């Protein structure tokens, strides 16, 4: 009898901890920049980055990380796409001087996207 209670407790604890671990990864994604882009007014070099976001509802705060170093923090809107993205991707807009600004981030296997707010405004259209 005691052994079955211990087994049930262990199974319950395992399920609880696995669901917490999965929930922790839901606000995270990866981003591979192929070009230098401007993010939050600063040039960001090509490379692999981790994207984390905090916030409830559609308005979120993004942290762009390279390793453990925060490269940029900026506001965005979490949006739902019609279809799941087949790969990690990003959108940019090109300024008159030729520089590219990050406008959106799409995550592989997910229907959500992050639309970067420009100057604290609303979601921006994306173009690659």
pLDDT in tens, 20-44: 333 445 899 999 999 999 998 899 9
Question: Does residue 108 lie in a domain region?
Answer: yes
Question: Does residue 123 lie in a domain region?
Answer: no
Question: Does residue 49 lie in a domain region?
Answer: yes
Cα 8 vs. chain centroid, distance in angstroms? Answer: 36
Question: Does residue 83 lie in a domain region?
Answer: yes
> pLDDT of 56-114, one tens digit each?
779 999 999 999 999 999 999 999 999 999 999 999 999 999 999 999 999 999 999 99
Residue 46 structural domain: 27-116
Q: Taking the complete model, does pTM exceed 0.75, yes or no?
A: no
E strands, 26-66, in order: 28-33, 37-39, 42-44, 47-54, 59-66
Question: Does residue 128 lie in a domain region?
Answer: no
**Number of domains making up the chain:** 1
Question: Does residue 39 lie in a domain region?
Answer: yes
Question: Does residue 64 lie in a domain region?
Answer: yes
């Amino acid at each position: 009898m005691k052994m079955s209670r211990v087994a049930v407790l262990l199974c319950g604890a395992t399920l609880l901890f696995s669901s917490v671990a999965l929930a922790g990864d839901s606000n995270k994604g990866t981003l591979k920049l192929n070009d230098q882009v401007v993010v939050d007014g600063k040039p960001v070099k090509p490379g692999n980055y981790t994207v984390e976001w905090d916030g409830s509802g559609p308005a979120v705060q993004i942290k762009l990380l390279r390793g453990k170093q925060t490269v940029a923090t900026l506001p965005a809107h979490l949006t739902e796409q019609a279809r799941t993205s087949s790969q990690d991707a990003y959108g940019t807009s090109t300024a008159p001087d030729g520089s590219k600004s990050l406008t959106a981030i799409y995550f592989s296997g997910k229907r959500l996207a992050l639309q970067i707010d420009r100057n604290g405004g609303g979601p921006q259209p994306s173009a690659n």
